[in-house]
Structure 1
Amino acid sequence: MAALSSGITGVLTSVVLVGGPLGVLGLVLGVVGLRTAKRTGTGRAVAIAALVTSFLAIAMSVLLAVGLAWYANHTQECYRPDSFRQYTQCVQQQLSGS
C-alpha cells in the first residue's frame, strides 16, 4: 500500500519535480511488494499498480525537467526585462526564431 501511495503522490506532484524521488521510492517499494506477493500469494495487483504509477511519476518528472531546460535554454536572453510585456515579446521572438 505504501508503494501505491508513493506512486500516486509522485504522479500528482511530478509537476513540481517532487514526483521523481517519490516515484523512485514507490518503484523500490513496489518491487519489494511484488516479491512479497509472490511469496504470500496476495497483493500482486496492488504491487503492479504501484510499479506503473511510480514509473509514470518518474517519466513525467523527467519530461518536465527536460522541457524546462529546453525552455530556459531558448529564452535565456529574456531573463532581465523591464516589464512583463517585454518578457512575453522576447519569449515569443526567441521561440519563433525571429
Structure 2
Amino acid sequence: MAPGLTAPKNGLATAAMALGVIGLLTSVVFIGGPLAVIGLILGIAALMTAKRTGVGRGKAITALVTSSLAIVVSGLVAVFMVWYANKTQECYQPDSFHQYAQCVRQHLNGN
C-alpha cells in the first residue's frame, strides 16, 4: 500500500462486533439482551456492506454469532428467573435469611 493511504474499514462491522461481544458478556444480567438485538441488526447491515465493499465480513459474522448467542442466553436466564420466582414465591416474606434458604430448599426439592 502506498504511504498515506489507509485500508478501507467497515465501522458498522466493528460497532456490531463490539455490541455482540459486550451483549454476550452481560447477557446473564439482562443488559446483554437489548445490546445484542442492536448488535444483531447492525451485524446484518454490516454484512450487507461487507458484501458490497469486501471489507469487514469476519467482524460482521462475529457480531451475528455473538449477538445471537447473547439473545439466547438472555432468554434462558429470563426463563430461569421466572421459573425460580414461581417455584419459590411463598418464600419471599421470611423473618431471616436462614428461613428463606430453608424455604427455597424445600420448594426446589419438591417438599
Is the structural similarity TM-score above 0.5?
Answer: yes
Task: Quickly name the TM-score band, shorter chain normalised.
Answer: over 0.9
1:72 corresponding residue in structure 2 = 85
Aligned equivalents of 1:30 and 1:55: distance in 2? 10
Q: Which has the higher helix share?
A: 1
Aligned equivalents of 1:20 and 1:63: distance in 2? 11
Higher RCO, 1 or 2 (CA under 8 Å, sep at least 6)? 1
**Greater CA radius of gyration, 1 or 2?**
2
Question: Could you tell me which amino acid in structure 2 is paired with residue 75 of structure 1?
Answer: T
TM-score (structure 2 length as normaliser): 0.87
1:16 corresponding residue in structure 2 = 29
Unaligned runs of 5+ in 1: none
TM-score (structure 1 length as normaliser): 0.98
2:43 corresponding residue in structure 1 = 30
1:58 corresponding residue in structure 2 = 71
Aligned equivalents of 1:19 and 1:58: distance in 2? 7
Report runs of 4+ in structure 1 exceeding 3 Å deviation.
Answer: none
Question: Could you tell me which amino acid in structure 1 is paired with residue 59 of structure 2?
Answer: V
